[in-house]
Amino acid sequence: MKAVSLLSPLAALVVSHEQQIPLNPAEQNSQPLTLDAIPLLGFGTWNLKQPNTTETVSWAIQVGYRHIDCAAAYGNEEEVGKGLADGLEKTGLKREDLWITSKLWNDHHAPEAVQEGLELSLQKLGLDYLDLYHMHWPVASGAGDKNQIYYLKTWESMVKQFEAGKTHHIGKEWVEWHAKHNIHVTAYSPLAGTNPTYKEGDKPEPLLRSPVLHKIAKKRGCTPAQVALQWGMSRGTSVIPKSIHKEYMEGNFHASECVLKKKDFKKLAKLGEYFHRYNNPSKSWDVPLYEGLEDSDGKHKPATWFKRH
């Protein structure tokens, strides 16, 4: 197992099981640059709903996406699986040409439930194995008191799934720890909270309407979305934008062709001087996911919409 995880930036605790492969961010700027074959540009399936799911996933593969990000909690893995099969058939690709990620949901953290969670995802996706399987959130539910489930036991069960060949990589989610240990990170919602699901609290202006982004995009001959995605890939993270519109899917796929200058990165960095946390289910789950990081101004207050079960 060369790499533990392809991971997202909002949750907690990564445990490294093997030595990691160092990344050189300067080299991570085009498809298909990888960490053990992980494309930097992926296609996300969160909030992808019928009747578009199957056709959209198939089209993503036809456009050129080779990294598809899935999860049991998204409630659409069966439709995604049909899209994978259709996309492979229409492109003539083989299963091993794709990197497929899925995630263990909170209600399957009990050690005896991990295998079932993985096998359910495999069944719905129509696959024999995953390229990566990791914990979606560091919060257990559905098996008695959440505090009675020890993460190490969950992890040990995930290791068994790796040893059985059901997943080629495993992981948990956190960010700063990754950088210190050269573990690759996937940045979900790379276009900054355009998702209407994140509806609580005051929201800043959508990133894609930013005058800074538009000015850079116009100067470099790119779209604002391509600028944002290239920024993410240029710092060494994989990005997984989602769209049901073919023209946007194609545009996002070609984000690596958007050449940004050093001064562009300085301007983009200023956009994040005061960040906004879009996805914080601490209140709903009664778990301090960001303990000590909640702001008094309400920008990072816990949301109530995201249910644990």
Q: Which residues are catalytic?
A: 74
Q: Domains in the chain, please, with CATH?
A: 25-200+234-262 (3.20.20.100)
Examine residue 204 and say whether the peptide bond preceding it is cis (omega within 30 degrees of 0): no
**At 237, is the pLDDT very low, low, confident or very high (cuts 50, 70, 90)?**
confident
Which residue has better confidence, 183 or 197?
183
Q: Which residue has the higher pLDDT, 73 or 186?
A: 73
Residue 154 to residue 59: CA distance in whole angstroms: 35
Residue from 85, 78, 72, 83 nearest 124 by CA? 78
Q: pTM of the entire structure?
A: 0.71
pLDDT at 149: 83
Interaxial angle between packed helices 224-234 and 211-220, expressed in degrees from 0 to 180 and rounded to the nearest 10: 90
Q: What is the pLDDT of residues 4-42, one digit of tens each?
A: 333 332 222 222 222 222 333 333 333 333 445 688 899
Taking residue 46's Cβ as centre, other Cβ atoms within 10 Å add up to 17
Query: Is 136 marked as a binding-site residue?
Result: yes
pLDDT at 164 over 50: yes
Over the stretch 184-235, which tens digit does the pLDDT of each residue have?
788 777 887 665 555 555 556 677 888 999 999 999 999 999 999 999 888 8
More confident residue, 24 or 150: 150
What is the predicted pLDDT for the residue at 138? 77
What's the average model confidence in pLDDT over 66-79?
A: 96
